[in-house]
Amino acid sequence: MKSLAELDKLRDTLQQEMKARQGEHDVSIAVSMGTCGIAAGAREVVKVLLNELKEQELSYVALTQTSCVGLCRQEPLLEVKMGDEKVIYVNVDQEKAKEIVRRHLMRGEIIKEWTAS
């Protein structure tokens, strides 16, 4: 179990890395970081996304966070925006996050079975 200070430090680090990825981008990913999103594993999803975007050299993709969107039971939520198209993935875990980067962001394939219905 991590101490409160360790969790605060982790949050600050993640926020700094996420800020560095914000800006003018045609492609963006937003992770819902409300209370239930964090409780459901949103921080771990963000960590995987940061690593995957770095590994795949997808510097054109912005990674941001949103607050609660009122879908507790479907957290963690991840929104992928490419131009005018917006897709919301639900119940995203670390493996799904990697797949979304590789299939949706890199190949343009929307993984319909993981999206909000």
Residues found near ligand FES in the complex (CB under 6 A): 34-36, 68, 70-72
Residue nearer to ligand FES on the CB measure, 34 or 104: 34
CA–CA separation, 1 and 29 (whole Å): 29
Smallest distance, ligand FES to C-beta of residue 91, A: 13
- Three-state DSSP class for 48? helix
Smallest distance, ligand FES to C-beta of residue 68, A: 3
| Residue written as token pair 């219905």 | 117
Q: CB within 8 A of 64, min separation 6: which ones?
A: 18, 21, 22, 28, 29, 30, 31
Smallest distance, ligand FES to C-beta of residue 32, A: 9
Residue nearer to ligand FES on the CB measure, 40 or 61: 40
Residue nearer to ligand FES on the CB measure, 70 or 83: 70
